[in-house]
A = this chain, B = another copy of it.
Amino acid sequence: MSILVVGSVALDSVQTPFGKKKEILGGSATFFSISASFFDKVNIIAAVGEDFPKKYLKLLKSRNIGTGGIAVNKGKTFRWEGRYEYDMNVAHTLATHLNVFKDFSPDIPDSLRKSRLLFLANIDPDLQDKVLRQMSSPALIACDSMNHWITNKKKSLERFLHKVDIFLLNDAEARQFTGEANIFKAAKAIVARGPKSVVIKKGEHGVIYYSKRSHFIAPAYPLEAVYDPTGAGDTFAGGVIGYLSRAGKITDNILRKSMIYGSIMASFAVEDFSVNRLLNISRADINKRYADFKKLTRF
């Protein structure tokens, strides 16, 4: 099938207990698309500034990612600065400079409006809706969100979620969105509010999938070292949507497998800064971790 992702392409400055990196390639659409590119063709809709390094656009193209929808606008590229302590489940944002991303209001080129799978990364829910209204009936609509929109645009988000097949968010966001401390109650409460299904990402503790018809839980792929968790969630989503696209149809079983592939893609992403580790793996590495995971979890 064909995948469209709408989100950010950014420059990140990241500190973890294992190092400090300045202005490295980041952004939700970046992590998502590189992850998905291992499975199928993906196109990006995003905006960067005039200062965005050409080498990064080249890098995306070299992965056969469609970059025609990345507008280069007057001004500077979106920048995020963050820090992680030893507990890497929590990102401490030091600074967010939206720059050109502040005026991001995506118009989808005609050629991409027929994309079959749509991933709306974490942007204003009103923009997510604006994108969706331009599409001609995608087979699957998935979206992410974050605490900022849950706090400031809850009504918009709730309205939009009724149109969504898979809503992905992390455990803290799920609790915030529903006011439920228990994560399974939260999952149920989210689906009661509109989306067909929800995927709650619990970082090193795995993932929960909940829809009215099916429930799935999986641990995370075990890692002995995590260097930088930035982008793990979007990389996960890229693996999920990428696998679904490659499978060509969506059954309960394919959906479960897609989440394992998502976890495995995320497990690579966090093993180095930026997308560095993702650029150094092959399909064989992914398949090896999938087989390992099967062995690790079977009973």
For A182, what are the chain B residues with a Cβ–Cβ distance below 8 Å?
223-226
Task: Assess whether A215 is in contact with B296, with CB atoms less than 8 Å apart.
Answer: yes
What is the minimal beta-carbon distance from A190 to any residue of chain B, in angstroms?
14
**Contact residue among B226, B260, B296 (Cβ-Cβ distance under 8 Å from A216):** B296
What is the minimal beta-carbon distance from A220 to any residue of chain B, in angstroms?
9
Asked if A280 lies at the interface with its beta carbon under 8 angstroms from chain B, I say no
**Contact residue among B204, B216, B259, B297 (Cβ-Cβ distance under 8 Å from A218):** B297
For A259, what are the chain B residues with a Cβ–Cβ distance below 8 Å?
299
Task: Assess whether A253 is in contact with B299, with CB atoms less than 8 Å apart.
Answer: yes
Output the nearest chain B residue to A222 by Cβ-Cβ distance. Answer: B184
Which residues of A, 179-216, contact B by the 8 Å Cβ criterion?
Answer: 181-185, 188, 202, 204-206, 208, 215-216
Q: How many copies does the complex hold?
A: 2
What is the minimal beta-carbon distance from A231 to any residue of chain B, in angstroms?
20
Task: Assess whether A216 is in contact with B86, with CB atoms less than 8 Å apart.
Answer: no
Task: Assess whether B299 is in contact with A257, with CB atoms less than 8 Å apart.
Answer: yes
Asked if A219 lies at the interface with its beta carbon under 8 angstroms from chain B, I say yes
A residues bordering B, Cβ < 8 Å? 86, 181-185, 188, 202, 204-206, 208, 215-219, 222-226, 253, 256-257, 259-260, 296-299
Q: What are 30 of the A-B contact pairs (CB < 8 Å)? A: A182-B223, A182-B225, A182-B226, A184-B222, A184-B223, A184-B224, A185-B224, A188-B224, A202-B205, A205-B205, A205-B206, A206-B206, A206-B219, A208-B222, A215-B222, A216-B296, A216-B297, A216-B299, A217-B219, A217-B222, A217-B296, A217-B297, A218-B219, A218-B297, A218-B299, A219-B219, A256-B298, A256-B299, A257-B299, A260-B299
Which 3 pairs across A and B sit closest by C-beta, in order of nearness? A256-B299, A205-B205, A217-B219
